[in-house]
Chains A and B, each alone.
Chain A
């Protein structure tokens, strides 16, 4: 299949990108790594009149240290995120979850910011960003603004980004000592989209769990936090992880589709949350 015709614009800075997106209007579309967009274009599920390719915006690539946070450029590829020393040191959860996305070829092209902006509920990075408390930095005609991860995901494939805004970078707070993490997912072998995924961050203190943050993938139209599990784990010992994980599906409204019915996903959420938390604490 061949995509429908479109105009192609290739800005080389964020400022040029913002003006190109504004000029393209409501039928314009941003091209990041293209690993979700190009298949959609090829199937003619979308007919943008203009594609704004961010592939040459150098300032949106790479990872840097910014004191109490690391900053991941939105156009950093999954492959580069997985192998970045700052990510490995301060946010190994991101590297681990990124390694479960798709396959090597797709990770060579697909980008951190592109996947988050696409906001597919079966994508793995949203739950990770939510658990880590990331901040999304967007540029638009009015300048730059920061959006908390908890405010970023609005609905299926829908984010807080305005049509004339571009996600430029994601700020990942450094968690400091005592935290450990694990990403656990369940997927069909031939396709890496999560049926359900669980991002667990745990802070140990004197052998018990002082604090836990749990993000769930594909348990609703957006990534969600498993608040009831987080409360049950606060101050708990490792022996009570299984009981706490029983709350993983509380208040969730997961989809039913070819990969599983809603009640099956709720079962998976409980099982995978137990596994993720136990793996995070090293048991």
Chain B
């Protein structure tokens, strides 16, 4: 077992993990952060996307030990203290940017990352920016609209 110190959604944790523990399994099974989901288990779908030290990562493709000393933000850490939604969450809600909803946590994290890098993306740039996230319902139209709406709010 290896000791790690991580801050997740603003709370500091000191835990023992096996080195082979994936970050997504640490988040879900040790911390109960089940808002972050496992989609494909092959690093393709992006459903497990979280922020690690301010950058989006696929948490199924990061070991928990690699996050030692780092700061993780999951979908569960976005809303404000009174439940006020993050602007990207709000935009997904208002634009009905989900069908089954399974890709949604990862999509929201990917769109937040995109808008941090490029606050006014074109439609093509949005589609490129979420290329690491797959929606098996193929509901991309409204996801792109939500990203455009969120960009409008933020700019």
Q: What residues of chain A have their CB less than 8 Å away from a CB belonging to chain B?
A: 1-8, 10, 31, 34-35, 38-39, 41-43, 51, 53, 55, 79, 102-106, 108-109, 190-192
What residues on A are CB-neighbors of B43 within 8 Å?
Answer: 35, 38-39, 106
Once bound together, how far apart are the Cα atoms of A69 and B61, in whole Å? Answer: 33
What residues on A are CB-neighbors of B62 within 8 Å?
Answer: 34, 38, 109
Nearest-neighbour CB distance to chain A for B118, whole angstroms, equals 11
Query: A35 touching B18 by the CB < 8 A rule?
Result: no
Query: B78 on the interface (CB 8 Å rule)?
Result: no
Contact mask for chain B residues 54-81; partner A; CB cutoff 8 A; 1 contact, 0 none: 0111101111011000000000000000
Please, could you name 29 A-B residue pairs with CB atoms under 8 Å apart, sorted by A? A1-B41, A3-B20, A5-B20, A6-B20, A8-B65, A31-B63, A31-B66, A38-B22, A38-B43, A38-B61, A39-B43, A39-B61, A42-B60, A51-B19, A53-B65, A55-B66, A104-B110, A104-B113, A104-B117, A104-B129, A104-B132, A105-B49, A105-B57, A105-B110, A106-B58, A106-B61, A108-B55, A108-B56, A192-B131
Query: B56 touching A104 by the CB < 8 A rule?
Result: yes
With known contacts A38-B43, A79-B55, A105–B65 Cβ distance under 8 A: no
Once bound together, how far apart are the Cα atoms of A51 and B129, in whole Å? Answer: 31
Q: What residues of chain B have their CB less than 8 Å away from a CB belonging to chain A?
A: 2, 18-22, 25, 41-44, 46, 49, 52, 55-58, 60-63, 65-66, 110, 113-114, 117, 129, 131-134
Q: Which of A35, A42, A103 contacts B22 (CB 8 A)?
A: A42
Inter-chain contact count A-B, CB under 8 Å? 85
With known contacts A42-B41, A103-B131, A109–B46 Cβ distance under 8 A: no
Once bound together, how far apart are the Cα atoms of A159 and B134, in whole Å? Answer: 33
Query: B132 touching A105 by the CB < 8 A rule?
Result: yes
- With both beta carbons as reference points, the residue of chain A lying nearest to B43 in the complex is identified as A39
Query: B61 touching A103 by the CB < 8 A rule?
Result: no
Query: A53 touching B66 by the CB < 8 A rule?
Result: yes
Query: B44 touching A191 by the CB < 8 A rule?
Result: yes
Query: A34 touching B63 by the CB < 8 A rule?
Result: yes
Query: B58 touching A105 by the CB < 8 A rule?
Result: yes
Nearest-neighbour CB distance to chain B for A47, whole angstroms, equals 11
What residues on B are CB-neighbors of A190 within 8 Å?
Answer: 44, 134
Once bound together, how far apart are the Cα atoms of A146 and B7, in whole Å? Answer: 41
